[in-house]
Structure formats: structure tokens, C-alpha cells
Chains A and B, each alone.
Chain A
Amino acid sequence: EVQLVESGGGLVQPGGSLRLSCAASGFTFNTYSMHWVRQAPGKGLEWVSYIIGSSRTIYYADSVKGRFTVSRDNVKNSLYLQMNSLRAEDTAIYYCVRDFYGDYVPDALDIWGQGTMVTVSS
């Protein structure tokens, strides 16, 4: 079964850091590009970041550029999101998502994890 399981969410103070992880299974992880997408409570979807299988191409939303870093470990079949200088507006459910066709340009976000909640508050 194709599956994505996020972990690492929690409560953090403004200015703090958090590292999210996503464990992938059921598919050849290193051949797929991956995304992080977030959703603030009661709000719509917001794309965060994208990384291709080789990690040679990476994109970020302007709202997180310079603060968040996406990475992957193809040996461990895992995707990561290092989040620094966190702000209240980063409070959201963070989804790990597989891209079915994407390479240099993202394509269909076909498999979504269940999400992990990040709350930034003092």
C-alpha cells in the first residue's frame, strides 16, 4: 500500500524551530518528487515546498523562503522540512504529498499523508 506518514508536529514558541519528517512506503521513493503543503485552521490549502527525486531542484513559497529547508533521504525513504524562525502564521496542518509526474515542473499531487499539526504560540 502506498503510504505517507508525517511526524514531528507540535507546539513551539514564536522564533523557535521544528523539524517535520515524512516516512514513505509502498513505492520507489527516489523516483518521485515530493511536496509539503499546509492548511491553517479553517483556511484553504497553501503550497510550501517542492523537491525532486535527486534533490537538484527545490522550490519554496515566498512566505517560507529563507526560513524553511526541505530535504530528503532516499536511503531512508524519508522527506523532511526544517522550519526555523517560526511565526504564528505558520500554524497549520502540514501535509507530505507525492507528485506523480513532476520533475523540473511540479505536476499532480496524487498521494497525501494524513498531516501533522504545527502550532506556533507563546
Chain B
Amino acid sequence: QSVLTQPPSASGTPGQRVTISCSGSSSNIERNYVYWYQQVPGTAPKLLIYRDNQRPSGVPDRFSGSKSGASASLAISGLRSEDEADYYCAAWHDSLSAHVVFGGGTKLTVL
């Protein structure tokens, strides 16, 4: 059971806009930054969004992040076949036992 909750799957057709949600708590998402990582099966994860809504250089502006309260979302517009991957949200969880927490991951299928 992950501290951050993501839907296990999502899907869309090419060109469509899809969103992936990430639900947390006051100990993580609400007062700390959210990060999103993309993992194509068989490869290492890649940083997609940092500090809630910032894109590293090289990440297309089709990818965007947002946050409200203890929840965050990743939006992908103009869906492409190469976007088919697993997506993970993450945040710093500042409690008695401080640690980084990941969501369980969302498998995105491009139909």
C-alpha cells in the first residue's frame, strides 16, 4: 500500500489529453513539492516534472503538472504512442520518520 495513491491504469487515443492523479496528505503533497517520473518498460525512470509543475530541459510542453491541497495531477496533451509507459508521482514525507514516498504507479496505454 503506497503512501501516495495513483490509479493503476489510464488510457487514451493518439492526440487525446489524459490526466493521472496522485493523492497524498498534509505530511507530503500538501506542504512539499511533487515530482513525476516516466518509466518505459525495461528502462530506468526519467524525471518528467519537478517542484510541482517545472519541466526539465528536453521534456515536451505536452507534459504538465499541477497541485491543489494534498492532490496532484500530471496532464499529457496530444497523446503519442511513445507516451505509453508507467508514471510515478513522488514527494517528501516529513513525519517522525522522514522519507521519500512514491505512488504505486499508473500504466498508461495509448490505444
Contacts and interface: CB of A to CB of B under 8 A. Distances in A.
Given A61-B99, A105-B92, A112 B104 contact: no
B97 A115 contact: no
B102 A109 contact: no
What class of interface size applies to chain A in its complex with B? 20 to 34
Contacts, number: 62
Interface string A85-103: 0000000000100001100
Interface in B24-44: 32-33, 35, 37, 39, 44
Dominant secondary structure of chain B at its interface with chain A: strand
A112 B51 CA distance: 18
B44 A113 contact: yes
A45 B88 CA distance: 8
B46 to A, nearest CB: 7
The 7 closest A-B pairs by CB, nearest first: A108-B50, A47-B100, A112-B44, A44-B105, A45-B102, A110-B47, A44-B104
